[in-house]
Amino acid sequence: MQRVERTVFISYRRTNVPWALAIFQNLTQFGYDVFFDFSGIASGDFETVILENIRARAHFLVILTPSALEKCGEPDDWLRREIEIAFESRRNIVPLMLEGFDFGTPTIASQLTGTLAPLRHYNALNVPADYFLEAMGRLRDRYLNVALDAVPQPASLPARRAAAEQKREAAAAPKVAEEELTAQQWFERGVNAVDLDEKLRFYSNGIRLKPDYANAFNNRGLARSDKGDQDGAIEDYNRAILLNANDADYFYNRGLARYRKSDLDGAIADYNEAIRLKPDFAEAFNNRGYGRRKKGDLDGATADYSTAIRLKPDYARAFNNRGNARYDKGDFDGAIADYDEAIRLKPGFAEVFVNRGSARRYKGDLDGTIADCDDAIRLKPDLAMAFNNRGYARYLKGDLEEALQDCTEAIRLRPDLAEAFDSLGCIRRAMGDVEGSLHDYNEALRLKPDYVEAVANRDAVLKAIADTSKNQPS
């Protein structure tokens, strides 16, 4: 039997809670029974409550912004799962498209794959902030006012109780002001923007309209960090954390900015907090491994990378990083095994070929080193370290002219690459250009004063010069 049903489930990203609340407030005002996870459901009950309430309600509204689908590629992403359950339950699905969302945008199209692909074929409704009430009128009159098969059975008692609690809390929330929805629009414009200055402007506009907008502070911090302003980024992350100290991403991002400032202890402390809040945060384990490796704690770094891999078995970067820690420990076979796996998972990861080449060189496999550097250069023709490492391997094989060309190219690509000047010094010394090699070693040490190999190489040249002077006839 078909009838007009008035039960609704709202699916949304937590970053878009003002939109979800505004839609809830409008629909309940007109007599709809609306459920959405407003304040957060206890983790033990979350799956049951969410899935049963989708199945028990006739209409399924999904709020789509430019950032909404970013994590839908992850199989355990809850927005993805909610949409999949709505498909399976044959609910009346209505995509609500906010400013900037377009099914035809390449990045959005790339996210709507597999089980999510049918979403683009549903009749969607545009919801502009300036015409919110008009859009809600169309939603009620055209999209929800349709005869549907009656929902076969209600949710279980615990799911109904959880829904009632969420409705009570949402009903008690202040009415969403138009400024708050406009702030959301500025936020999404920032997400969509490519130019970093535009991102900063858009997020700042959102913050101006909504001074407690934690996500806007966080995202403005990301833009500042990408521009190289780590102090400004940390200031924004501090504000985001002050507003919401339970978001693991805010601590993770501040940890990354602190790492970039070489504040390793601060970075590790932030990654610790991110992991405490989100124990399955593979990226936080990986990044804590960076900090521990840089502090010389190779066992701790290796353990962190291993945990990241356990949590995310296809994490190519974590395999590469564990390979680096094993390389530092002198475990070249273990390092090569990790690099092999990283390459298998991500064949275009040029830097891993360079790293595997270095491990092969230490095992005496110079041809393998050169082959790996060839692959790295093919994948990334401006990768200076690949030219440097190939040049050094050619130097060790006695191919001095080719070695000279490679290291010269490495310096052209990266004039601050101390390793390339050190390699060039070795090549010039082998070619008999002692003064040239001394100049190169000095330049390597100017760029990297604690470069142990360059110190040893320069000392050897200075000793050779001194010995030659002693042996000159008086």
Q: Phi and psi (nearest 5°) for 213?
A: -85, 85
Residue of higher predicted confidence among 305 and 45:
305
Does residue 103 sit in the same domain as residue 222? no
Does residue 75 sit in the same domain as residue 117? yes
- Among residues 190, 170, 169, 186, the alpha carbon closest in space to that of 178 is found at 186
pLDDT digits over 278-336, tens only?
999 999 999 999 999 999 999 999 999 999 999 999 999 999 999 999 999 999 999 99
State the total domains in the chain.
2
Q: What is the mean pLDDT of residues 181-202?
A: 91
pLDDT digits over 84-130, tens only?
988 988 889 999 998 888 888 888 888 887 888 888 889 899 998 78
pLDDT digits over 403-416, tens only?
999 999 999 999 99
> Is 467 a residue whose pLDDT tops 80?
no
**230, 256, 278 - which closes a domain:** 278
Residue with tokens 């709020």: 63
Kindly state whether residue 96 falls inside one of the protein's structural domains.
yes
In angstroms, the first-to-last Cα distance of the chain is 115
Percent of the chain with pLDDT over 90: 66
Does residue 141 sit in the same domain as residue 252? no
Q: Do 148 and 2 form a contact (C-beta atoms < 8 A)? A: yes
Give the C-alpha separation, 36 to 13, whole Å: 11
CATH number at residue 114: 3.40.50.10140
Write the DSSP symbol of residue 398: T
Helix (H) or strand (E) holding 234: helix 230-243
Does residue 35 sit in the same domain as residue 135? yes
Does residue 229 sit in the same domain as residue 161? no
- Residue 393 pLDDT: 97
Kindly state whether residue 236 falls inside one of the protein's structural domains.
yes
Q: What is the mean pLDDT of residues 447-462?
A: 91
**263, 278, 293 - which closes a domain:** 278
Does residue 9 sit in the same domain as residue 144? yes
Q: Do 125 and 134 form a contact (C-beta atoms < 8 A)? A: no
Does residue 117 sit in the same domain as residue 211? no
Kindly state whether residue 365 falls inside one of the protein's structural domains.
no
Q: What residues make up the domain containing 261?
A: 193-278
Kindly state whether residue 266 falls inside one of the protein's structural domains.
yes
**278, 295, 318 - which closes a domain:** 278
Does residue 169 sit in the same domain as residue 200? no
Q: Do 115 and 123 form a contact (C-beta atoms < 8 A)? A: no
Q: What is the mean pLDDT of residues 168-173?
A: 85
- Residue 210 pLDDT: 92
Does residue 168 sit in the same domain as residue 29? yes
Does residue 218 sit in the same domain as residue 261? yes
Kindly state whether residue 42 falls inside one of the protein's structural domains.
yes
- Residue 5 pLDDT: 83
Give the C-alpha separation, 57 to 9, whole Å: 6
- Among residues 175, 188, 182, the alpha carbon closest in space to that of 64 is found at 188
